[in-house]
Amino acid sequence: MSKKIIVVCDHIHQDGLDILEADNKIELINAADEPKDKLVSEIIPLADVAITRSSTDVDDAFLSSAKKITAVVRAGVGVDNVDIAGSSKQGIVIMNVPTANTIAAVELTMAHMLSCVRTFPYAHNNLKIDRVWRRQDWYGTELKDKKLGVIGFGNIGSRVGIRAKAFEMDVLAYDPYIDSSKATDVDVKYTKNFEDILVCDIITIHTPKNSETIGMIGKEEISKMKDGVILINCARGGLYSEEALLEGLTNGKIAMAGIDVFDKEPAIDHPFLDLDNVTVTPHLGANTKESQKNIAIQAAENAIAAAKGIAYPNALNLPIKENELPDFVRPYLELIQKIGHLSAQVTKSAVKSIKVMSSGPVADHLASMSTFATVGVLTESVGDQINYVNAEFVAEERGIKVSTEVKPNNSGFTNKVCLKLTTTEGTISIAGTVFDDNVQRIIEIDDYTLDVEPKGTMIFFRNTDTPGVIGDVGRIIAENGLNISDFRLGRDTKQQALAVVRVDGKVSKKILDELSSLDAFINVSHASI
């Protein structure tokens, strides 16, 4: 049996190379120093598996040369330079290494926190560069007894919380997608009210970057914070509104900020660099020797497993070739994943169970639909750590029961899929179908019959079925500067109605508060697909 060829496209730690070289079933081609044009045109066609980093784009040119490649391992977390959709069409599995830099990111967060409270970088520069000895200029404050708000209590946020407790801080966690016991079990307080976080002394954010979290700390949120608050972001650029952050840092509302990530990188001309109350680093979250070693080892091990066809750890896609599934099935897979993502955003609470039901010929593919539904549900809370390969295991690890059921085909539709999501706050059931030309539609939400395209930003407003509500909802949305692109209404047998309003733009808390103030209000939520 011939050896499988693994091409290393960019520099990785030597320990990873040693693992590849030591396997007698693997032939290693280390092309890290080769010109990119030669790599793509001459070396990639030889590869069965490739290991890349940020210096090599998995783009059209790469994929057109990847005649033999079955998998690409991105040695790191980010996959911004990888065409995942194009890779999937070509049957190439894309994998990343999402947890190898966990401790590095945690410790960098603590470093920024300490730098902010003691202004270490400025005191250092004053002595070492300016040669000035002025101890009286550098009075800081202590972490002890300060209240730390942690937004996102996952793999990194939870470890930050544990370390902050060691500094005798009062730690408060906000993460609607976890069970509260995950925080309380490590002696951290838990809140479901985001407003509680805003009154903390120090706030750090550790969430995935998605439609819900981009700009989640903006001008309105900062205005509610304590004067002299300290903000930390070592997660993703854009989670804090940089414009609002700059204003708060300039007018003194924010005492200090520790920033490792920016909207656009490299950020060598950023206005933050001109301020003397910001500690900045050039996206160093993964930049430790241990982290780079761990990334290389995991990338090498994952590449070997993929080359041998054993497993595809941390796969971010599911390679679907034309002959593997009937054409009519794939839009249903996409639809059930959208429904899962939609359900998680609407409920915004810890998931207990996911049940996928189907009727018609598409029910023969319930196992695949269950996987796609689980990925859709958990993407909101887990981010890029959830994928089609590990979805079942992540759900099991979180104590989430996933089940399927074939239903009688008496709906009047050729095929129908439905997801019932049960959380700590209740249940929601959403059903959909696909019409000719792959037109996806949501046709039921709980007991309401509708016809909604799962697309864009949607407001879900449930109310008592009384006159004038549609006008009030439309007026509030219009007064807040949003254009309504679609308005659908469903009614049940209990004199209640559900409006699903698609809008162009971001739904603010102000809009939700105003809708909640209407006399007919029962509940309101929003989601983006």
Q: Is 265 one of the catalytic residues?
A: yes
For residue 140, give the 3-state DSSP assignment.
Answer: coil
C-alpha–C-alpha distance, residues 254 and 223, integer Å: 10
Distance, CA of 327 to CA of 442 (rounded, Å): 20
CA distances from 367 to 175, 374, 421, 431, 462 (A): 29, 11, 17, 17, 33
CA distance 349 to 345: 9
What whole-number distance in Å separates Cα of residue 60 and Cα of residue 32? 20
Return all residues near 428 (Cβ < 8 A) that are at least 6 apart.
343, 346, 347, 420, 421, 445, 446
| Strands laid side by side in the 351-359 sheet | 401-406, 351-359, 416-423, 426-435, 439-445, 448-452
CB contact set of 201 (below 8 Å; sequence gap of 6+): 146, 147, 148, 226, 229, 230
Is there a catalytic annotation at residue 13?
no
Catalytic residue flag (residue 11): no
Determine which one of 11, 163, 283, 398 is catalytic.
283
Helices (H), 277-355: 289-307, 329-347
Of 236, 365, 462, 502, catalytic: 236
Of 42, 220, 243, 265, the active-site residue reads 265
Closest CA relative to residue 77, chosen from 52, 59, 56: 52
Collect contacts of 107-112 with beta carbons under 8 A, ≥24 apart: 107/288, 108/234, 108/260, 108/281, 108/284, 108/285, 109/156, 109/160, 109/204, 109/206, 109/232, 109/234, 109/258, 110/160, 110/163, 110/164, 112/232, 112/234, 112/258, 112/259, 112/260, 112/279, 112/281
Task: Please list, residue by residue across 171-190, b when 16 or more beta carbons sit within 10 angstroms of its beta carbon and e when fewer do.
Answer: bbbbbbbbbbebbeeeebbb
Integer Cα distance of 302 and 184 in angstroms: 34
**Hey, how many other C-beta atoms are within 10 angstroms of the C-beta on 426?**
9
Calculate the CA dihedral of residues 507, 512, 513, 519 and round it to 10 degrees. 150
Q: Which residues pair with 464 in a beta bridge?
A: 496
Q: Active-site positions? A: 236, 265, 283
